[in-house]
A and B are shown apart, each in its own frame.
Chain A
C-alpha cells in the first residue's frame, strides 16, 4: 500500500493510505525505511470481523476525516528522528558471554535464542571463505533500506551458528532474497512465510547436510544453522521482527525451516533427475533454491507396490491440507507445492512413473469445488474469485470455466510444472510430506553457488577438522 502511495508522492501527488490500526507500527517502520512522511487513515480494529453496518460507520466517522486531514497535510506526523548508528564492522560491545547475549536481546539483534558472539576473528574466518569484498553491496533491502553487504552476511552467519565454509551458500541465499520475484518487501505479511532453503549438488556433502532420516528436524549443524541464518537476516537487515520490534506482522507464524537437502545418490539410483537438475543445473553444480512455506501437511504414510497407490494417498492426505489456502495461489496464477518424498516410496513410484508423470497425476487429481474455493477467498479478506476474469487475464487455464456449475471441480494447483519434488527423509520408512508456499511471495527460484578459487583448500581444512573429531 505504502509503496503505491510513495510512487504517487514521487511525482508530487499527495496521498493517504488506509491501514488497519494493528499495522500502524509496521507502517512507521516502512515510512522510516522509505525516508518519507506520509499520512495514514487507520481503520480501528479488524475490518473482516465487523458487520457491514459497523464497517460503514467506522469508515464514515473515523476514516473519512483522516482522509481529508491527510490530503490537507495540516497535521502530518513527521518521521521519527533517525538515530546515529555504528559504522559497519565496528565493535559495538564488549562483555562476557552472558553480557553479550543480554545486549543482543536488548537491542533486538537476536532471534531469542543464544547467538555466537560475532567477534572480528570469527567474522574474518567467514570472509576468508569467499572471494567477495566485505563492503560489496548485493542490494538495498526493504523494509529498513539497509545495504545487504557481504560483511553483514558473515556477521549474521556467525551469530546463527554457521561454520565459515557455509559462507558461499549464505551469500547465494541473500542474492536470491534480493531478486525481485522473492518480494522481500512482503516477507512481513500476515500469513507469515518462512522461506525454505533447498540445497542441491556436491555442496551437500561438502557441508555435511543431512538428507536422510529427520531431514527437516533441527539437529544437524548445517541444516539447522543455515535455516536459522535466513530468518536472522530477515530480522536484522530487513527489520522483520515480532513485537516489540513489530516489523513482522505474521499473525501466528511458526519457526524457521531448517535447510532441506536432497538424497541425490538415491534419486539418481532410481533414475529420476535430481531437484537441482530439474531447476536447470548440471550434476556438478552446487545450487541453492528458495521458496516460501506457510504450512506443511501431516506425515503422509503410503503403501503398495504400484505408483498410483502412493500418488492417490498424496491426493487424499495432502490435498485437504492445501484446500483452504490454495485459492490465494490460483487467484494469482502461481503457487509452489513441494513434495518431500521418502526414498523407499520414490523408488516404488520411479519403477513405473517419471517425475513428470507423478506431477501430472497430482495436478489432475488435486481438485475442489469451485464454490468452496470462492468461499475460502471470501473468508480471508472479502476477496472475490472471478474465474472468468482470471482466465481472461491469462492467469489460469480455460478449463477452470469449463462449466458454470458452482459445484464443478477445479484444480488446486494451476500448472503441473509448479510442483516441486525432492527425495529425502528416512529410507527405512514409508513417509512423505507436503509443503505449501504463499502464492507469488517467494516463488521457487534457484541460483548456482559461486565457490571461491580456493574452495578445494577450504574443504581440505574442513576434512582435517572432521577427521580430528572422528567423523
Chain B
C-alpha cells in the first residue's frame, strides 16, 4: 500500500516588529527621580517601601514619584493610565522607572 506524502504550508505568520536599541542607563541614581509603577498586587507596596529606604541611603537626593500618583497600571483603567503615562512621566521629571509586579 502506498503511503502518500503531503507538502505542508508554514502555519505561523510574519513577525512585524522592528528591533529598538536599549535606552542608556543611569550608573548613579543620586539626585534622580524614580517613578513607581505598580499593579496593586503581590505585596508591591512593601517592595517599594524597601526600595525607597535603601536607595535613599545609598544615593543622596534620589526622589520617588509614588505609585498612587499613577494608579493601578493593570486595573480597569489600565488603558487610560498607560495612554497618559509618557506625559505624566515627563511632567514629573522622571529619570527612571521601576515597574511591578508580574507573578
Contacts and interface: CB of A to CB of B under 8 A. Distances in A.
Contacts of B97: 4-5, 8, 13-16
Interface string A130-153: 000000010010001111110110
User: Considering residues B3, B13, B26, which has the most beta carbons from chain A within 10 angstroms of its beta carbon?
Assistant: B13
Nearest to B29: A71
A313 interface: no
A95 interface: yes
A13 B43 contact: no
Given A19-B103, A71-B29, A145-B16, A92 B98 contact: no
Interface string A313-348: 000000000000000000111100000000000000
B13 A148 contact: yes
A4 B82 contact: yes
B95 to A, nearest CB: 7
Contacts of A383: 40-41
Contacts of B19: 35-36, 79, 82
Interface in B30-58: 35, 37, 39-44, 46-47, 50-51, 54-55, 58
A96 interface: yes
A288 B60 CA distance: 58
Interface residues of B, number: 61
A272 interface: no
A247 to B, nearest CB: 13
Contacts of B50: 56, 59-60, 64
Contact of B11 (A33, A155, A440): A155
A117 B12 contact: no
Contacts of B18: 35
B82 A48 contact: no
A17 B41 contact: no
Interface string B1-13: 0011111111111
A97 interface: yes
Interface residues of A, number: 100
Contacts of A55: 43, 46-47
Contacts of B85: 4, 7-8
Contacts of A294: none
A18 B100 contact: yes
Contacts of A148: 13
A47 to B, nearest CB: 5
A140 B23 contact: no
B102 A1 contact: yes
B9 A74 contact: no
Contacts of A97: 3-4, 6
Interface string A1-44: 11111011111111111111011000100000111111001010
Contacts of B101: 1, 18-20, 43, 47
Contacts of A2: 99, 102
A376 to B, nearest CB: 14
B23 A12 contact: yes
Contact of B96 (A13, A36, A43): A13
B25 A47 contact: no
A68 interface: yes
A27 B103 CA distance: 11
A3 B20 contact: no
B3 A89 contact: no
Given A14-B96, A383-B40, A440-B76, A19 B102 contact: yes
Contact of A17 (B5, B26, B99): B99
A74 B89 contact: no
Contact of A13 (B11, B12, B89): B89
A119 B10 contact: no
Interface in A141-173: 144-149, 151-152, 155-156, 159
Contacts of B40: 383-384
A120 interface: yes
19 contacts: A2-B99, A2-B102, A3-B82, A5-B99, A8-B85, A13-B89, A13-B94, A16-B97, A19-B100, A47-B103, A52-B43, A59-B51, A60-B54, A68-B58, A73-B23, A91-B10, A140-B17, A145-B17, A393-B77
Given A41-B100, A56-B50, 16 more contacts: A1-B39, A1-B73, A3-B82, A12-B24, A13-B97, A17-B99, A67-B55, A74-B25, A74-B27, A104-B8, A146-B13, A146-B15, A147-B14, A148-B13, A159-B11, A384-B40
Interface of A: 1-5, 7-20, 22-23, 27, 33-38, 41, 43, 46-48, 52, 55-56, 59-60, 63-64, 67-68, 71-74, 76, 79, 82, 85-97, 99-100, 103-104, 109, 117-120, 123, 137, 140, 144-149, 151-152, 155-156, 159, 180, 236-237, 331-334, 380-384, 393, 395, 440
Q: Which 3 A-B pairs have the closest CB atoms?
A: A73-B25, A18-B100, A20-B103
